[in-house]
Structure 1
Amino acid sequence: MAATPKHSVSVAGVVIRDDGRVLVIKRDDNGHWEAPGGVLELDESFEAGVQREVLEETGLEVTVERLTGVYKNLTHGIVALVYRCRIAGGETRVTEEAREICWMTDEEVQAAMSPAFAVRVLDALANSGPRSRAHDGVDLV
């Protein structure tokens, strides 16, 4: 009997400044622009995972406001929960995981990110309920 496939659960924080710009990082592992985030640890809540990942990758402390979307990478079996956040403290800094940090407009997000990751930020900027989307790692399906 074949083993049941497993999913990985990740979280990401879309941190929005008062001027509407969004915090994004250029990941060190793949060179892509994305919202800060990563794999949820077994012993933490979704919100605590978002706070930890944003702090580790950017130096910012955040307050988690609300869930904005659930996204599944069909190619790799990764389920990502994305949360809208606001700054609570700290200063941005480059880290081992984030080679660059930038505050982008929604237009800049669309130009710099693959569609599968840009939509996460755009969904967080929208004032609608949480979205549910699937992608292949680059494009929505």
Structure 2
Amino acid sequence: MPLHSVSVAGVVVRDDGRVLVIQRADNGTWEPPGGVLELDERPEDGAVREVLEETGIEVSVERLTGVYKNMSRGVVALVFLCRPVAGVERTSSESTAVRWLTLEEAGEVMGEVYAVRVLDALDATLTPYVRSHDGHQLLESV
């Protein structure tokens, strides 16, 4: 029987509205920092850990903003709105670039399935979004 994998990501927003994004070392895509949730880890703690590991930025989690399933890979991603609290931007073995981008810039460099996560996180609606995609494009709800 196929298994699912659970990942977490943080959409980190500064007071000036800029969003923290990384360029992934493995495939060059731009996306919010995140990764696989450990078995013994709370989702919020995983998001804090992943953001710190990949960017050098310590964050506080505000709320869950979306659940996203990659239907082709069986990965369920939990995305959280976060605020920076300390640290200095740096790359890691998983990131070749770390930048604070405007919403417009983020939308230009990110693919659809990652850009929507940023837009969803910045939406004032408190209800988390639930979306599915094929790894590149969002899939229509039935």
TM-score scaled to structure 2, two decimals?
Answer: 0.95
1:137 maps onto 2:135 in alignment? yes
- Give 5+ residue unaligned stretches, structure 2: none
1:60 maps onto 2:19 in alignment? no
**Equivalent in the alignment of 1:46:** 43
> How far apart, CA to CA, are the structure 1 residues paired with 2:101 and 2:133?
23
Q: How does 1:1-141 map to 2 (within 5 A)?
A: 4-128=1-125, 129-141=127-139
> How far apart, CA to CA, are the structure 2 residues paired with 1:116 and 1:136?
9
TM-score scaled to structure 1, two decimals?
Answer: 0.96
Let me know the Cα RMSD of the aligned residues. Answer: 0.6
Runs of 4+ in 1 over 4 A off after TM superposition: none
The Cα of 1:104 is off from its aligned counterpart by: 1.1
- Give 5+ residue unaligned stretches, structure 1: none
Identity %: 62
The Cα of 1:108 is off from its aligned counterpart by: 1.2
